[in-house]
Amino acid sequence: MNNLCIVSSLLDNDFYKFTMQNAVIKLFPFAKAKYEFINRGNHFFPKNFGKILKENLNNMAYLKLSKKEKHFLKKYCPYLDSSYLNFLDKYKYNPEEVNIDQKGKIIKMNIEGLWSRTILWEVPLLAIISELYYKLTKTNCLSDNKIVNIIKNKIKKYKELKVKVGEYGTRRRFSYKVHRLILKILIEEGYPFFMGSSNVHLSQNFSIKPIGTQGHEWIMFHAAKYGFNIADKIAMRNWLNIYNGNLSIALSDTYTSSIFFKNFDKYLSNTFHGIRHDSGDPIFFIKETIKHYKKLKINPIKKKIVFSDNLNPNKVAYISSVCKNQITPYFGIGTNFTNDVGPPSMNIVIKMTQANPEKKWISVVKLSNTNNKSTGEKGTILFAKKQLQL
């Protein structure tokens, strides 16, 4: 494979990027956003990495939604209406929105533009960085046979536990080829416990429904527009207005779960099918969630928690044992599926740093349940914590 075709489909992205893009177009069509690449693992990049990465992005400008892909979205994602599909039909990546700067072994990268356009960059960019890094550092993974055996063993454990699992691993995959191989095995071996993949392109390849709802940037933007205290509530209500109760898993840790539960009133708690846990102690979170539902006289067993924080079979076994007969667990597994193939996985993210809801740039932050996952300017983080009395 040459360096210019790591992402070869407009749909090689996570489903929640498209669901958020649809909502942004409808509610905030003129809003702008800035994003930044964060190298959490302090990885050193080889010579010319930035140049080859830019060539890749230039190549993405030619990607276009095919008739077959549009038909797939119509059939498998009925909550994406025709006005949005027509928008996507005309959408093209604009590499000018991404600024890449390499000094020695350090890469800096920023994205800026209309939120409705720039929202699609994050996941494919991270996937390209990950694959290019292994390629240019000549890092090999295990053989296909060994990878197949690892995935078969994992899915066997999940089936023995009788837990529902999905694959969320696009952004930190070892490579597209490995990702495709892994998904093929999960589909072949995982029935009836494998729920699907967040990757829309690969879901289309295998004729399965893509999975996902929304990400932290949806709530971070609402904080810029409406304030930290009510961002969760307005973001959730807006989501319900767009999707009429479909795709209704609430994200709980943009401004810590304690603030989320204050916003998750009886109407929202009843209407949303469940909650996603993405940081902090999962066992504490289970207890808090059950307590919250019981306080509102809602039966927790009828609700879901979707766990998506750095999972592996041992963690899943422990979490599911605590949930048993109390609340229904689902598991979204990322890197442990798509990059547990020999070399260490990269620890890289791209996060929204500023939002411009109307005519002014406002710094945005994410206050995770664990400090090391919080993002944003230190001053804004302190301001947000003060506002929220954390």
Give 177-198 pLDDT, tens digit per residue.
999 999 999 999 999 999 999 9
pLDDT of residue 330: 98
**pLDDT tens per residue across span 128-178:** 999 999 999 999 999 999 999 999 999 999 999 999 999 999 999 999 999
Q: Provide the pLDDT for residue 3.
A: 56
Given a cut of 60, is residue 1 above it in pLDDT? no
Choices 3.40.50.200, 3.20.140.10, 3.40.50.10330, 3.30.360.10: CATH for 15-140+346-388: 3.20.140.10
The confidence score (pLDDT) of residue 4 equals 60
For the chain, residues classed under CATH 3.20.140.10 are 15-140+346-388, 144-338
Interval 98-105 mean pLDDT: 98
Give the chain's largest Cα–Cα span. Answer: 59
Q: Pairing mode, if any, of strands 249-251 and 274-277? A: parallel
Token code pair at residue 260: 């989320």
Q: Which CATH superfamily is domain 144-338 in?
A: nicotinate phosphoribosyltransferase (3.20.140.10)
Q: What is the secondary structure of 108-175 as a DSSP string? A: EEEEEEEHHHHTTSHHHHHHHHHHHHHHHTT-----HHHHHHHHHHHHHHHHHHT-EEEE--GGG-S-
Per-residue pLDDT at 379 exceeds 60: yes
Task: For residue 192, say if its preceding peptide bond is cis, omega within 30 degrees of 0.
Answer: yes
Runs of H (alpha helix) within 137-281: 144-161, 176-190, 200-205, 216-226, 231-243, 257-263, 266-271
pLDDT tens track for 105-129? 999 999 999 999 999 999 999 999 9
Average pLDDT, the chain: 96
The two beta strands, 32-38 and 106-114, are antiparallel
